Structure 1
Amino acid sequence: MVRVGVVLLPQERWARARARWLRAEELGFDHAWTYDHLAWRDLADEPWFATVPLLAAAAAVTERIGLGTWVASPNFRHPVPFAKDVMGLDDVSGGRFVLGVGAGGEGWDAGVLGPAPTRGVRTRRFAEFLEVLDALLTQPVTDHAGEFYEAHAARMIPGTIARPRPPFVVAANGPRAMALAARYGQGWATYGPVPDDDVAADLAQESWWEGLARMVEGFDEIAAGRTVGRWLNLDGAPRFSLTSAALAVEGVERAAALGFGDVVVHWPRPSGVYGGDERELERFAAELPRLRTLEPAPR
């Protein structure tokens, strides 16, 4: 079965955002996500709310839909207090929380608390971040002394509802991060290859799918038979998935053929990044029952 999720950017006050999160559940999406940034790219000077309280509020008003971060990173988080946040979100949601987590990009978040780390440092930090988070969320007391983090008798009581902990969906595009996804993740998440802006739109779209297929083959080799789910951010492609419902449906079908069991799209914004018509989201949602009958290609 293929499951489909939707990302809602944290840009609206809860008085308005509440209806949208409820609508995501009503439309039948399997999971709903928000970004975990302090600000983001071209939207840095627009309204942008904190991730954890937003997801806690969404968890309190929804009943069925999975909820998660797409994705959290060590750019501004320490694993000890963040593990407490994860435990809280797991509790409020009744075990529905999924931790999407990545190494952190090179954008605004990377340097807001100090000099941005190099790529190599970022990868080592991410490995330790995952190690400590995994330990914190699977045992009541944790001690750790590493290159980037320390934990001294860090307590996680009563622990999470999800056992042994909430699922980790680890974002990874390169081989080192993919190895971490295979080791710690219940899921591997990707936005696919970086699109080539110099290629015509239709050719760029096909080139993206071809590059994604190569990435899947690479992850298959790294995972070496481990059971790790595949999660695709469909909006990593050159064309926004909800330009039309038909394009989004095609994307889910192609993702399933590559072995992805979970696919994520973005709620259309009025303009700019992810700009589109919400009526296309509604039309796409009407196709979800059929899309769930798809079986991801075995890997």
Structure 2
Amino acid sequence: MEVSCAFPTSLSSPDDIALAEELGYDRAWVYDTPQQSPDVWMTLALAAERTERIGLGPGVLVPSLRHPMVNAAGTATLAALAPGRVSVSFGTGFTGRRAMGYRAITWAFMDSYIRAYRGLLRGEVVEWEGARMQMLHPDGHSPARPVDVPVLVGALGPKGDAVARELGDGLFATLQVPEFMKDHPQAAFLVWGTVLDDDEQIDSDRVRAAGGPGWALAYHGAYEFGGPDAVRALPGGDAWMDTVERTPDGERHLSVHAGHCVELNDADRAAWAAGGHVLLRDATISGTRDEVRRKVEELGAQGVTEIVFQPCGPDTRAELERFLDAARAVATV
């Protein structure tokens, strides 16, 4: 099993990725969330210049945010800066779209987008939005086509699985392990959490800062996929929902996704204080070193070939070190 990391793209991400390389992580993914992040391709280019070995990639690109030619050109540029180290993943936009008030894109759109994107990287003439186009980069403007990079697809259901099987090289999943995970030769799984000391309480300030942003996704996801009733069924869910509902309905998505994967927003803090923190071990990979090791081991048994950990809180180095120590015990067996 590969042990990789992920970062919500920030101005410090290039340095964070250099640190991850120093510590021994296999790959670093950064999020395509323009409503809260710097540009993903600029960030990866800076990371490429500051590293030599670690794999790099956007995880996940949201197709509707850019024309396929733009993402193809970005991919080719990164492949030139970090040859042999680039992977790309695509998703339907849990945060990259929903935080701006849109629904996820359809799998039909994803299918046609990846076909066009991969065709462009092969140097083919493709059709998009009724026009025929091709990468026309002269020498010195891009690597020669074809530009071959692994492409993973973020899928949890059968439609996404079908697209991943036909057009992708593997799977990029989070929140839950799909039953078809084992069917893919490369299967990355994104997790959050923190490694606790043996006597550390889960409601401590450190644990809230380091494990809280990942824990909060249980509430964000319940709201987006199940609605208010699904949230209120969770511990602290009434406090979370009552806070969100103070925002006008047309802007409610802004309060839901504020601080997403970075820090607790007002609703998250209300739910945590109301007892929601009891979900930390279930909602994230948090636990003692031995508990985290067992959780990683269980994910491997379910078909995960690459565990992807996103550190949170003020001490990125410590979180990366703690997780790598636990995960490597599994990865090297």
State the TM-score, normalized to the length of structure 1.
0.71
Which structure 2 residues correspond to residues 48-87 of structure 1 after superposition, within 5 A?
A: 48-87=37-76
Asked whether 1:248 is paired with 2:248, we answer no
Gaps of 5+ in 1: 194-211, 271-275, 295-299
Count of residues paired in the alignment: 244
- Answer yes or no: is the 8 Å Cα contact 1:160–1:166 preserved in 2: no
- Answer yes or no: is the 8 Å Cα contact 1:90–1:161 preserved in 2: no
2:92 is paired with a residue of what secondary structure? coil
State the alpha-carbon separation in 1 of the partners of residues 4 and 77 from structure 2: 22
1:71 is paired with a residue of what secondary structure? coil
Asked whether 1:93 is paired with 2:76, we answer no
The residue number in structure 2 matching 1:131 is 115
1:241 Cα offset (Å): 2.6
State the alpha-carbon separation in 1 of the partners of residues 68 and 106 from structure 2: 15
The residue number in structure 1 matching 2:312 is 268
The residue number in structure 2 matching 1:5 is 4
Counterparts in 2 of 1:154 and 1:108: CA distance versus 1, 3 Å: closer
Q: Which amino acid is the alignment partner of residue 110 of structure 2?
A: F
State the alpha-carbon separation in 2 of the partners of residues 277 and 152 from structure 1: 43
Counterparts in 2 of 1:175 and 1:154: CA distance versus 1, 3 Å: same
State the alpha-carbon separation in 1 of the partners of residues 116 and 156 from structure 2: 22
State the alpha-carbon separation in 2 of the partners of residues 82 and 192 from structure 1: 26
1:284 Cα offset (Å): 2.5
The residue number in structure 2 matching 1:152 is 133
Counterparts in 2 of 1:136 and 1:38: CA distance versus 1, 3 Å: same
Q: CA RMSD in A?
A: 2.9
Counterparts in 2 of 1:277 and 1:27: CA distance versus 1, 3 Å: closer
1:186 Cα offset (Å): 1.3
1:126 Cα offset (Å): 0.7
State the TM-score, normalized to the length of structure 2.
0.64
Deviations 1:36-71 (A, max 9, x none): 1112xxxx4xxx211101000001110111011110
State the alpha-carbon separation in 1 of the partners of residues 4 and 57 from structure 2: 10
Q: Which amino acid is the alignment partner of residue 151 of structure 2?
A: F
Counterparts in 2 of 1:88 and 1:283: CA distance versus 1, 3 Å: same
State the alpha-carbon separation in 2 of the partners of residues 132 and 164 from structure 1: 14
State the alpha-carbon separation in 1 of the partners of residues 48 and 79 from structure 2: 9
2:148 to 140, 165, 169: 165
Asked whether 1:279 is paired with 2:318, we answer yes
Q: Which amino acid is the alignment partner of residue 109 of structure 1?
A: R
Asked whether 1:35 is paired with 2:26, we answer no
- Answer yes or no: is the 8 Å Cα contact 1:30–1:66 preserved in 2: yes
Q: Which amino acid is the alignment partner of residue 25 of structure 1?
A: E
State the alpha-carbon separation in 1 of the partners of residues 81 and 173 from structure 2: 27
Gaps of 5+ in 2: 193-216, 219-281
State the alpha-carbon separation in 1 of the partners of residues 157 and 66 from structure 2: 22
Query: Which of the two has higher C-alpha Rg?
Result: 2
